[in-house]
């Protein structure tokens, strides 16, 4: 999982995605992945060198189409028709915990001995271990300091029973053999006794449920069993006689034989205590894989913990990170399609590493941490550029990819009616229609019809279907647009939209909002507007008197080429 996340490069369009931004992201990601497949198959790739991103990504990248918002009904129809999955939704492209180098060190069970935990720490070169249950839910954590403290400070001869130490832990710690008894049994009562005195003293000192360490002395073993010890440990590799084994079994006393001497057993037996007795249970700081690094960084810097535990969205432990991890962390890698403005990009674009920009709009405000490949052409649709890149790299376009690229061009150019449409857009769309086996006019009519259905949509859905924010001379303003082939349908939502625009203006603090109700067949737009200076801006831009909240503009269909330049020019004056 870690390796996969490190390789992903997201190809993503703008907020409130339209058909072009979604379909271009899918097609471009497919093109990049196809080239990598050919590379892995040993094909000569000299022609691709300027096309692929630099560094390790050439060999390791996996390109994933993404979207920065909910897709509209038009786009949904296109994806269904050409059997394409909806791109992954990314409300933000800020660096998350899942993007950085999480050390995938498995958690340990609460019954693990201190010795076993120590050995795992040495092998894993870590100083912290998560303690988890069978479902990987966090129960606590144990650090190397906790183990050292337990080893140095434990003087209580009843701690083994207080910690409910399993017999299995003692066997593992002492490399012993269980001759009599159940390894799953736990020490629940009694103290630890080292049998080195005379028989009379031993007989008086050993009580019921005690754990007794002794040597190859039959009388001492017998005395411990008769005093109802819960377990005896016979040292120095000595064997328990048949009589001792039989008596021990009858009295419910476990018998362990170990090759270690009495000193070694006495010194190391506390290492069999389960980590649950010493682990930290309260105040554990853990982060989710979905948490943003910028949000957790202050917490990590203010706490003197060496490691911080990571869980998934279901609360299951997955690994850990440290402050050192933040130094070499991997930011999200993205390719921007159909936009290059910060206000139109998914939140957190400034925290991501932008690898490429493929767009057909004016150059905007996205800043990158290093030089990147930018493909920007004055055509009517980003999909046209993506098609060109297929041709340049001699990659055949599949029927499905041809279908979504063609749909994107028809949508963005309003079936070639928009002034942004170029001869290249027409030529590419016609060629793609042949590959996809569709009739352009019939398909476009059906696509626009599916994308319309305004009466069935909520006000917010209509408003954000294709809404973008712009800034001119430090003045922000928003512009939305919907298209339809039914003029009456457009007018039926006018009052609803005006009310919603007022609400959106108050919520966002944007001083002016405009909305284009564009009739594809009539090639005209009713431009709605709200805001104190909006009416004056519209009248100065088009030299025409406007109604209270709208103006009718013949021949106006393009936001990018016809509306934005005029509004911007007046604002800059």
Q: 196 pLDDT exceeds 60?
A: yes
Please check whether residue 126 lies inside any domain of the structure: yes
Q: How far is Cα 11 from Cα 339, in angstroms, rounded to an integer?
A: 12
Q: 232 pLDDT exceeds 90?
A: yes
Q: How far is Cα 273 from Cα 120, in angstroms, rounded to an integer?
A: 16
Q: 396 pLDDT exceeds 90?
A: yes
| Domain identity same for 351 and 311 | no
| Domain identity same for 141 and 285 | yes
Q: 48 pLDDT exceeds 60?
A: no
* Per-residue pLDDT tens digits for 415-437: 999 999 999 999 999 999 999 99
- Backbone torsions φ then ψ of 482, nearest 5 degrees: -130, 150
**Domain termination site, one of 255, 272, 289:** 272
Burial 231-270 (b: 16+ CB within 10 A, else e): bbbbbeeeebeeebbebbeeebbbbbbbebebeebbeebb
Over the chain, what is the mean pLDDT? 89
Please check whether residue 528 lies inside any domain of the structure: yes
| Domain identity same for 121 and 171 | no
> Sheet containing 286-288: which strands, arranged edge to edge?
286-288, 308-311, 317-321
The three-class DSSP label of residue 227 is coil
| Domain identity same for 350 and 282 | no
Residue 45 region by backbone torsions, left for phi larger than 0, else alpha for psi between -120 and 50, else beta = alpha
Reported as a pLDDT band with limits 50, 70 and 90, residue 146 is: confident
Please check whether residue 167 lies inside any domain of the structure: yes
Region 391-415: mean pLDDT is: 95
Residue 379 sits in a domain whose CATH number is 3.90.1640.10
Reported as a pLDDT band with limits 50, 70 and 90, residue 145 is: confident
- Contact indicator for 319, 310 with CB cutoff of 8 Å: yes
pLDDT at position 317, please?
A: 95
The count of other CB atoms within 10 Å of the CB of residue 492 is: 13
**Domain termination site, one of 327, 349, 368:** 327
Q: 53 pLDDT exceeds 60?
A: no
pLDDT at position 328, please?
A: 67
| Domain identity same for 409 and 460 | no
pLDDT at position 151, please?
A: 74
Q: 6 pLDDT exceeds 60?
A: no
Q: 375 pLDDT exceeds 60?
A: yes
Half-sphere exposure of 455 (CA within 13 A, CB side): 7
CA dihedral sign, ordered 175, 179, 182, 186: negative
**Domain termination site, one of 413, 440, 467:** 440
What letter would DSSP give residue 560? I
pLDDT at position 2, please?
A: 41
| Domain identity same for 433 and 498 | no
Q: By C-alpha distance, which of 16, 35, 146 is closest to 468?
A: 16
CA distances to 47, 194, 195, 220, 573 from 262, rounded to whole Å, are 74, 8, 9, 14, 94
Please check whether residue 448 lies inside any domain of the structure: no
- Contact indicator for 413, 382 with CB cutoff of 8 Å: no
Please check whether residue 146 lies inside any domain of the structure: yes
> What tokens were used for 53?
């991103």
Residue 233 sits in a domain whose CATH number is 3.40.1390.20
Reported as a pLDDT band with limits 50, 70 and 90, residue 197 is: low
Domain that holds residue 508: 454-572
- Contact indicator for 343, 172 with CB cutoff of 8 Å: no
| Domain identity same for 159 and 147 | no
Residue 471 sits in a domain whose CATH number is 3.10.310.20
Q: By C-alpha distance, which of 383, 356, 358, 360 is closest to 370?
A: 356
- Backbone torsions φ then ψ of 283, nearest 5 degrees: 70, 25
| Domain identity same for 417 and 513 | no
Region 263-287: mean pLDDT is: 91
Q: How far is Cα 4 from Cα 26, in angstroms, rounded to an integer?
A: 19
- Backbone torsions φ then ψ of 415, nearest 5 degrees: 55, 50
pLDDT at position 465, please?
A: 87
Q: 181 pLDDT exceeds 90?
A: yes
Q: By C-alpha distance, which of 487, 521, 517 is closest to 415?
A: 521
Number of domains in the chain: 4
Please check whether residue 446 lies inside any domain of the structure: no
pLDDT at position 400, please?
A: 97
Please check whether residue 468 lies inside any domain of the structure: yes
State the angle between helix axes of 440-451 and 399-412 in degrees (0 to 180), rounded to the nearest 10: 70
Q: DSSP string spanning 147-179? A: HHHHHHH---TTHHHHTT-BHHHHHHHHT-EEE
Q: 49 pLDDT exceeds 70?
A: no
pLDDT at position 427, please?
A: 97
Q: How far is Cα 569 from Cα 573, in angstroms, rounded to an integer?
A: 6
| Domain identity same for 86 and 220 | no
Please check whether residue 445 lies inside any domain of the structure: no
Reported as a pLDDT band with limits 50, 70 and 90, residue 154 is: low
Residue 143 sits in a domain whose CATH number is 3.10.580.10
| Domain identity same for 183 and 226 | yes
Instruction: Note the helical H segments in 393-515.
Output: 399-412, 423-436, 440-451, 459-463, 487-492, 494-508
């Amino acid at each position: 999982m870690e390796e996969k996340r490190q390789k992903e490069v997201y190809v993503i369009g703008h907020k409130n995605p339209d058909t072009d931004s979604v379909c271009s992201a899918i097609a471009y990601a497919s093109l990049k992945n196809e080239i990598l497949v050919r590379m892995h198959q040993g094909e000569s790739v000299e022609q691709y060198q300027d096309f692929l991103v630099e560094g390790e990504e050439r060999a390791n990248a996996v390109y994933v189409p993404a979207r920065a918002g909910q897709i509209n009904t038009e786009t949904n129809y296109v994806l269904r028709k050409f059997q394409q999955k909806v791109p992954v939704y990314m409300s933000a492209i800020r660096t998350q915990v899942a993007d950085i180098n999480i050390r995938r060190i498995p958690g340990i069970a609460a019954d693990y001995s201190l010795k076993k935990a120590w050995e795992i720490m040495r092998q894993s070169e870590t100083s912290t271990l998560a303690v988890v249950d069978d479902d990987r839910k966090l129960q606590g954590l144990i650090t190397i300091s906790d183990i050292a403290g337990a080893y140095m400070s434990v003087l209580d001869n009843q701690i083994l029973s207080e910690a409910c130490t399993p017999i299995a832990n003692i066997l593992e710690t002492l490399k012993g053999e269980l001759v009599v008894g159940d390894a799953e049994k736990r020490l629940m009562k009694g103290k630890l006794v080292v049998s080195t005195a005379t028989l009379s003293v031993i007989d008086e000192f050993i009580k019921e449920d005690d754990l007794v360490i002794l040597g190859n002395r039959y009388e001492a073993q017998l005395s411990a069993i008769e005093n109802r010890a819960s377990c005896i440990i016979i040292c120095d590799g000595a064997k328990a006689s048949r009589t001792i084994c039989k008596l021990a079994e009858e009295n419910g006393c476990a018998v362990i034989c170990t090759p270690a001497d009495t000193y070694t057993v006495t010194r190391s037996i506390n290492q069999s205590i389960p980590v649950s007795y010493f682990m930290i249970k309260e105040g554990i700081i853990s982060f989710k894989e979905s948490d943003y690094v910028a949000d957790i960084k202050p917490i990590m810097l203010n706490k003197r913990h060496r490691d911080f535990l990571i869980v998934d969205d279901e609360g299951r432990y997955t690994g850990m990170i440290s402050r050192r991890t933040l130094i070499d962390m991997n930011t999200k890698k993205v390719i921007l399609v159909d936009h290059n403005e910060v206000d139109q990009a998914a939140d957190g674009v400034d925290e991501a590493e932008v690898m490429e920009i493929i767009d057909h709009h004016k150059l905007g405000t996205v800043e990158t941490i290093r030089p990147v490949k930018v493909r920007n052409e004055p055509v009517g649709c980003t999909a046209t550029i993506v098609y060109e890149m297929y041709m340049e790299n001699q990659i055949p376009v599949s029927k499905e990819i041809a279908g979504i690229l063609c749909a994107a061009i028809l949508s963005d150019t309003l079936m070639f009616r928009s002034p942004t449409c170029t001869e290249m857009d027409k030529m590419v769309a016609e060629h793609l229609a042949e590959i996809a086996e569709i009739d352009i006019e019939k398909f476009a009519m059906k696509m626009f019809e599916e994308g319309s259905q305004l009466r069935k949509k909520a006000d917010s859905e209509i408003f954000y279907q294709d809404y973008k924010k712009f800034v001119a001379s430090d003045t922000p303003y928003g512009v939305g647009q919907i298209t339809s082939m039914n003029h009456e349908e457009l007018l039926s939502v006018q009052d609803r939209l005006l009310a919603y625009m007022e609400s959106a203006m108050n919520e966002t603090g944007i001083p002016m909002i405009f909305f284009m109700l564009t009739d594809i067949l009539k090639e005209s737009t009713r431009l709605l507007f709200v805001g104190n200076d909006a009416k004056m801006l519209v009248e100065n831009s088009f030299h025409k008197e406007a109604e209270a909240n709208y103006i009718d503009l013949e021949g106006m269909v393009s936001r990018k080429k016809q509306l934005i330049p005029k509004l911007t020019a007046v604002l800059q004056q």
